[in-house]
Structure 1
Amino acid sequence: MDALIILCVILFWFLVVLGLRNWSAYIKEKRELLVHVSDVTLVDAFEKKEKKRKQQAGLIDKVTKFADEFADLGQRINFFSENLDVADWLKKSGNRYELTVARFQGIKMMFLTAGFFLGMILFILGFPFSEFGIVLIPLLGYFLPIMLIKQQVKQRQEALRQDLPDFLDTISTSLQAGVSLDQALREVIRFFDGPLREEFTRFIQEIDLGVQREQAYRNLLERNNNQQFQQLIKSLLQGMKLGVPVAQTFKVQAEDMRELRQEQVKELAAKASPKVTLVTTFIVAPVSILMVAGLMILNMIYGDNSIMNLF
């Protein structure tokens, strides 16, 4: 009887291990099949991310629809946020939440009003320094959307700069293989995410809608102020007029951008050295001296040869 029980236990664990092995093989084959189907059917690898962004944009639209009531007032009170400047910021930030200039101005005034009421509530409740909050919190509410949109512009242009060399190398390889520029862009942008994908997707859509290629290039220039990206687009414009091969343009631009990136890294490293020296001189060194001096003083007072033993 004992031998039968032991045999059943061994058989049970053997079947468990066999099941886990088959389940692992199934998961692996399923993953490979999904990748193959994605490649064959041109399924977008970032489709879920795009849907999530659209959901966020829809949520922001519902939350900020009340800002339209403040839009007229916001366009009149436009300190540090002229309508032309706001339109330029929204364009260069990618306008992820699909805001209009009027709504942005309304959000600014809505936050200012909400900050004023919050400051009043804190003042009535008697919070410390609440008398300053009545002025500072509304100002923070006014400038917060401006600071956020400017930060988005900066981050987007930086992301554009980071992805450009790899993007250009891939496009150059595709062009040298005999693929047309438009087809190469359609294929390559599927494997990139962020500003590059957004900009060249819009570029392709404009070409499909009949916009002249030169005008589509100029629209790219207007939407981005990154120096390397503008240099690329201007080179494409010049090459289109002079008849320079596009593949050669992309290859040269990729090499130049990598060299420029290396120089920028060296420049940042050179700038970091004085900062480290400054911190060491004014923070680390004084603290170390104070610690050593403190230990010496304590040793003089409480040590074996302390001053107290002389009395």
Structure 2
Amino acid sequence: MDALIILSIIAFWFCIVLFLKHFWSFLQEKRTVLHHVSEVTATDPFEKKIKKRNKRAAVFHRITTYADDFSDLGQRINFFSENHDVEEWLRKSGNPLKLTVERFQGLKIFLFLVGAFAGALALVIGFPFAQYILAFGPLLGYFLPIILVRREAKKRQERLRADLPDFLDTVSTSVQAGVSLDQALKEVIRHFDGPIREEFSRFNQEIELGVPRERAYRELLRRNDNQEFQSLIKALLQGMNLGVPIATTFKIQAEDMRQIREEQVKELAAKASPKVTLVTTFLIAPVSILMIAGLMIMNMLMGENSIFNMF
């Protein structure tokens, strides 16, 4: 009977492993087929990503419906989250979850209460470290939206900085070939992904809707605080007013950005050297000295030439 039970358990786990193997193969084949269909039908992956993000925003909207009830309270309790700061963070992060300032302010209060409830529940159940959960849970719930939105804004600006030189080179080449700036932007952004495509797609849409070009440039400046991007848009504004060729502006900006990036890498490398020296001095060197001293003491006490053998 025991052998039958053992064989049944082995067969069960063998079936589980076999199922996982075939399921993984199915997922790989499905991904390959979807990629092939996307290439054949010329589906834009960026549009699929936007649709997926919009669905995620809709789900998040339904989950956080109750946060709207705390929006007034959240706007009064605005420690480290003034309304104008929140608006700027959402704008610079691209606002992927379609949050409004009011909902954001209500969300942090809602999560504060959720953290307090979770801490109280853990304390009643007798969960380990429940007192710490009760103390820090509400604070985590309050500051979590602030931290996430600010991190997303910083991450988006970094991606914008990384893609900008290649984007400028491509647009400069297109403009030098005789293509107009608006048409070059429309064609080039199709080959890019992320914030740089979002920003210039919105810029093109504003131009098509009749927004003055200078105002559209000002909106780009308002939505992004990246230093290189700001320099580019200001140069375009100045070139538009003074009649400087756009292709020349783009080429010069791309070269300057690559030079700035190279200088930043050198600066980071120079700053890393003292940190490595500190780690070596205060961690590695003392440990090495202690190991050598320990071996010497053990040899003196327990080795062939031990001091106890002298007596």
| 1:161–1:226 CA contact under 8 A, matched in 2 | yes
Task: Please tell me whether residue 268 in structure 1 is matched to residue 292 in structure 2.
Answer: no
Counterpart in 2 of 1:300?
Answer: 300
TM-score with structure 2 setting the length: 0.85
Task: Please tell me whether residue 228 in structure 1 is matched to residue 208 in structure 2.
Answer: no
Q: For each residue in 1:116-149, what CA deviation from the matched residue of structure 2 results, as whole angstroms up to 9, or x when unmatched?
A: 1112122233445433432322111111111111
Name the aligned partner's letter for residue 71 of structure 2.
Answer: A
Name the aligned partner's letter for residue 236 of structure 1.
Answer: L
Q: Which moved more, 1:271-280 or 1:291-300?
A: 291-300
Counterpart in 2 of 1:203?
Answer: 203
Q: Counterparts of 2:138 and 2:249 in 1: how far apart (Å)? A: 51
Q: Counterparts of 2:249 and 2:40 in 1: how far apart (Å)? A: 33
Task: Please tell me whether residue 159 in structure 1 is matched to residue 159 in structure 2.
Answer: yes
Name the aligned partner's letter for residue 255 of structure 2.
Answer: E
Name the aligned partner's letter for residue 255 of structure 1.
Answer: E
| 2:109–2:142 CA contact under 8 A, matched in 1 | yes
| 1:171–1:188 CA contact under 8 A, matched in 2 | yes
Distance apart, 1:84 and its partner CA: 0.8
Task: Please tell me whether residue 96 in structure 1 is matched to residue 87 in structure 2.
Answer: no
Q: Counterparts of 1:125 and 1:161 in 2: how far apart (Å)? A: 49
Name the aligned partner's letter for residue 177 of structure 2.
Answer: A
1:117-156 correspondence to structure 2 within 5 Å: 117-156=117-156
Distance apart, 1:150 and its partner CA: 0.8
Unaligned runs of 5+ in 1: 1-26
Q: Which moved more, 1:164-173 or 1:51-60?
A: 51-60
Q: Counterparts of 1:251 and 1:229 in 2: how far apart (Å)? A: 14
Q: Counterparts of 2:39 and 2:250 in 1: how far apart (Å)? A: 29
| 1:71–1:102 CA contact under 8 A, matched in 2 | yes
Distance apart, 1:276 and its partner CA: 0.7
Counterpart in 2 of 1:239?
Answer: 239
Distance apart, 1:106 and its partner CA: 1.2
| 1:70–1:106 CA contact under 8 A, matched in 2 | yes
Q: For each residue in 1:158-188, what CA deviation from the matched residue of structure 2 results, as whole angstroms up to 9, or x when unmatched?
A: 1110000000000000000000111011101
Q: Counterparts of 1:280 and 1:34 in 2: how far apart (Å)? A: 52
Q: Counterparts of 1:125 and 1:278 in 2: how far apart (Å)? A: 46
Counterpart in 2 of 1:190?
Answer: 190
Distance apart, 1:73 and its partner CA: 1.2
| 1:45–1:191 CA contact under 8 A, matched in 2 | no
Q: Counterparts of 2:121 and 2:298 in 1: how far apart (Å)? A: 51
Q: For each residue in 1:167-222, what CA deviation from the matched residue of structure 2 results, as whole angstroms up to 9, or x when unmatched?
A: 00000000000001110111011111111011001111111111111000000000
Q: Counterparts of 2:63 and 2:106 in 1: how far apart (Å)? A: 12
Counterpart in 2 of 1:76?
Answer: 76
Q: Which moved more, 1:295-304 or 1:275-284?
A: 295-304
SS of equivalent to 1:46: helix
Q: Counterparts of 1:133 and 1:51 in 2: how far apart (Å)? A: 37
Please report the RMSD computed on the Cα atoms of aligned residues, expressed in angstroms: 1.9
Task: Please tell me whether residue 289 in structure 1 is matched to residue 301 in structure 2.
Answer: no
SS of equivalent to 2:64: helix
| 1:45–1:190 CA contact under 8 A, matched in 2 | no
Q: For each residue in 1:279-306, what CA deviation from the matched residue of structure 2 results, as whole angstroms up to 9, or x when unmatched?
A: 1111111111111112222222221122
Task: Please tell me whether residue 61 in structure 1 is matched to residue 61 in structure 2.
Answer: yes
Q: Counterparts of 2:250 and 2:61 in 1: how far apart (Å)? A: 39
| 2:56–2:97 CA contact under 8 A, matched in 1 | yes
| 2:38–2:44 CA contact under 8 A, matched in 1 | no
Distance apart, 1:85 and its partner CA: 0.7
| Shift in alpha-carbon separation, 1:247–1:113, aligned structure 2, 3 A | same
Q: For each residue in 1:255-277, what CA deviation from the matched residue of structure 2 results, as whole angstroms up to 9, or x when unmatched?
A: 11111111111101101111111
| Shift in alpha-carbon separation, 1:297–1:101, aligned structure 2, 3 A | same
Q: Counterparts of 2:123 and 2:156 in 1: how far apart (Å)? A: 39
Distance apart, 1:56 and its partner CA: 1.7
| 1:113–1:138 CA contact under 8 A, matched in 2 | yes
Name the aligned partner's letter for residue 212 of structure 1.
Answer: P
Number of equivalent positions: 278
SS of equivalent to 1:84: helix
